[in-house]
């Protein structure tokens, strides 16, 4: 395995153990205006983007930069709280977990 496949495998390897057996049914991206929804996730397991190899760090002020896994209304969910904007997600100047850069800093 190489390239993107290897990066995905590393990310999955960092996320799966932290889910403590939870298998999400739904995935949700919490964009602007939906951040309050994170508070509705019961028994939330929080995984910082910094702990996920290669995951883009948020570039938008106020975006948390974490995955939340838990339940909402009895459904198992995985929510992405905070994200990078558009093509900035994959351009080289975007800080990435493990790069040593902090959100908002160029590498």
Q: Kindly write down the DSSP assignment for every residue of 2-13, as one continuous string.
A: -THHHHHHHHHH
Domain boundaries along the sequence of the chain: 4-89
Is residue 101's pLDDT more than 90?
A: no
Report the distance separating Cα 81 and Cα 92, nearest Å. 22
The pLDDT value given to residue 95? 53
pLDDT digits (tens, 9 = 90+) for 14-53: 999 999 999 999 999 887 777 788 889 999 999 999 999 9
- Report residue 84's pLDDT band, with 50, 70 and 90 as the boundaries: low
The pLDDT value given to residue 32? 72
Is residue 90's pLDDT more than 60?
A: no
Arithmetic mean of pLDDT over the chain: 79
| Contact (CB, 8 A) for 47 and 88 | no
Percent of the chain with pLDDT over 70: 71
- pLDDT greater at residue 77 or residue 89: 77
> Which two three-digit tokens encode residue 20?
């403590």
């Amino acid at each position: 395995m190489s390239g993107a496949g290897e990066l995905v495998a590393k990310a999955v390897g960092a996320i799966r153990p932290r889910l403590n057996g939870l298998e999400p049914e739904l995935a949700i991206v919490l964009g602007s205006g939906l951040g309050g929804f994170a508070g509705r996730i019961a028994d939330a397991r929080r995984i910082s983007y910094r702990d996920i190899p290669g995951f883009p760090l948020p570039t938008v002020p106020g975006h948390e930069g974490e995955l939340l896994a838990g339940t909402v209304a009895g459904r198992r969910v995985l929510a992405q709280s905070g994200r990078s904007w558009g093509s900035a997600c994959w351009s080289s100047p975007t800080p990435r977990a493990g790069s040593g850069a902090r959100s908002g800093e160029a590498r």
